[in-house]
Amino acid sequence: MLKIYNTLTRKKELFQPRVSGKVGMYVCGMTVYDYCHIGHARVMVVFDTVARYFRYQGYELTYVRNITDIDDKIIQRAIENGEDYGKLTERFIDAMHEDERALAVLPPDLEPRATQSIDAIIAMVQILIDKELAYVGTNGDVFYAVTKFKDYGRLSGKNLDDLQAGERVDVDLAKRNPMDFVLWKMAKANEPAWDSPWGLGRPGWHIECSAMSTCCLGNHFDIHGGGMDLQFPHHENEIAQSEGATGEKFVNVWMHNGFVRVDDEKMSKSLGNFFTVREVLKKYRPEIIRFFILTSHYRSPLNYSDESLNDAKAGLDRLYIALRDALPDDKIPENFIVLDDYKVRFEQAMEDDFNTPEALAVLFGLANELNKAKKHKSENKIVLTATLKYLGGLLGILQDEPDAFLKGKRHSIIGDITISITPSTTMKLTSGDEYIDQQIQARLDAKKAKNWALADKIRNDLKDQGVILEDSPDGTTSWRRE
């Protein structure tokens, strides 16, 4: 029984798909004028995890995540760069897809772009004008008349009187009401523009999402997601546009993920306190970032710091160490069994509004059992390993070979350029590993000769290079990177 917190009702609700066995989910994606930061990574990972879980539950999911590839910031950045805006957005779309692959985020089923949805946008604006929910302002821009939509403010718990009392809205003389928002914006000279009944221009941001979601999923669909900050005005405006245009209910469940913070402040471009995914990938491997994001509930704030990333690394190491040497060749048997009690606990956690921290606690419990089974040479270790890896897979983690993960460089071997590699290839063993094996052999010889001083020196030297040696009871030595 899957329960999801619905922003619209501020309650956890039992999830009931509109059509039995099917789910339509739309998530507001990126505006592509710069590299993705960790906040964007959180949206991708959170909703990827949600999508994976729906599929695991047997739902036929259509997951749509749009791309905003035309807006003021894109135009401004293109001018600054002296670059064609289309070239600019192509570059950052490619970069986004690289980041996505690195984080083991499965691509959405559909990825509509605003610039490829202009016809649908114009059609929707026209309907809103016909229904007198929208009007052409004195400057030629088309605006939505907010007061004409009776439920305006319901999602964000605001009402128009309060908003106007806030007095933080620029007074735009072209609008009838300061809260009215733009649906179609007239183009200035040399700006990218599309022909429309109201003249050359481009769509407003909010109408893009209404048009694209409706195009892909129909007038009424199950889930709409995005960051907390989109609640108002973006999602509020989407409801006004879509319900205004179609006369139908727009979305059943609204899901909003919490922010990534730095020093207790929202990570954002405007504050300038953001870390891009590729920056962080220089220090930490992609799976560590994904694990870090999953350590907190998706609606809670997530504080970004080196300390928390190091903790994530340590936790993930523990899981991989448990998986290491659990099976003769690290291969899960073909017809493996998943231990039911762990599976049930894991599912209970996930079905309680996607409680990934709790789900991870189940994995740690499993790791503890597995370590004991290994110690006692119990055959149970096979089924425990299979279960741990299987449940980890549902979260998009623990799919690497344990040795590849543990011996992989702490930071990705990818420079600025080649992040477009899958997580497992980033873990490829490097040539320096032969040297490590030689040193381990030398140390084993020294140990045999009871030359502890030499043995310890070798171990300490390797430690200084970030390599940790671990002797096992059978006389062999394994190693991993710090």
Partner RNA sequence: GGCUGCGUAGCAAAAUGGUUAUGCAGUGGCCUGCAAAGCCAUCUACGGCGGUUCGAUUCCGCCCGCAGCCUCCA
Nearest distance in Å: CB 328, RNA = 19
- Of the candidates 119, 206, 106, the residue with the CA atom closest to the CA atom of residue 423: 106
The contacts of residue 427 (CB under 8 Å, 6+ apart) are 285, 400, 401, 404, 405, 407, 408
Of 263 and 340, nearer to RNA (C-beta) is: 263
Tell me which DSSP letter residue 147 carries.
G
Q: How many Å from the N-terminal Cα to the C-terminal Cα in the chain?
A: 41
- HSE on the CB side for 111, CA within 13 Å? 14
Residue 335 CB, shortest distance to RNA, in Å, is 27
Query: Which of 78/414 has CB closer to RNA?
Result: 78
Interatomic CA distance for residues 135 and 125, integer angstroms: 9
Tell me whether the omega of the peptide bond preceding residue 286 falls within 30 degrees of 0, making it cis: no
* CB 363 to RNA: min, Å: 8
Nearer to RNA, 155 or 414 (CB): 155
Would you say 347 or 414 has its CB closer to RNA?
347
Nearby residues of 274 by Cβ (< 8 Å), 6 or more positions away: 37, 38, 39, 262, 267, 268
Nearer to RNA, 189 or 453 (CB): 453
Task: Give the distance, in angstroms, between the CA of residue 377 and the centroid of all CA atoms in the same chain.
Answer: 39
**Nearer CB in complex with RNA: 295/378:** 295
Of the two residues 182 and 414, which places its CB atom closer to RNA in the complex?
A: 182
CA–CA gap between residue 254 and residue 26 (Å, rounded): 10
Side chain identity, residue 367:
A
Amino acid in the structure at residue 259: F
- Output 118 or 414, the one with its CB closest to RNA: 118
Smallest separation (angstroms) from RNA to the CB of 334: 28
| Angle value at C-alpha 228, between 225 and 234, nearest 5 degrees | 70
8 A C-beta contact, residue 180 and residue 145: yes
Shortest distance (Å) from residue 247 CB to RNA: 25
Q: Which of 366, 318, 358, 317 is nearest to 341 (CA)?
A: 366
Q: Work out how close the CB of 172 gets to RNA at its nearest, in angstroms, rounded to a whole number.
A: 10
Q: In the bound complex, what is the minimum distance in angstroms from residue 343's beta carbon to RNA?
A: 17
As a whole number of angstroms, the distance between CA 102 and CA 280 comes to: 12
User: Which residues contact residue 149 at a Cβ distance below 8 angstroms, ignoring those fewer than 6 apart?
Assistant: 133, 240, 243, 244
Least separation in angstroms between CB 21 and RNA:
28
Query: Tell me, what amino acid is at 340?
Result: D
Residue nearer to RNA on the CB measure, 301 or 432 = 301
The residue (of 290 and 447) whose beta carbon lies closer to RNA is: 447
CB 158, min distance to RNA, A: 5
Q: How far is the CB of 390 from RNA (least distance, A)?
A: 18
Q: How far is the CB of 369 from RNA (least distance, A)?
A: 8
Question: How far apart, in whole angstroms, are the C-alpha atoms of residue 259 and residue 299?
Answer: 8
Nearer to RNA, 34 or 243 (CB): 34
- Block residue for tokens 């606990």: 345
Closest Cα to residue 470, out of 402, 397, 379, 424? 402
- Contact at 8 Å (CB) between 39 and 303? no
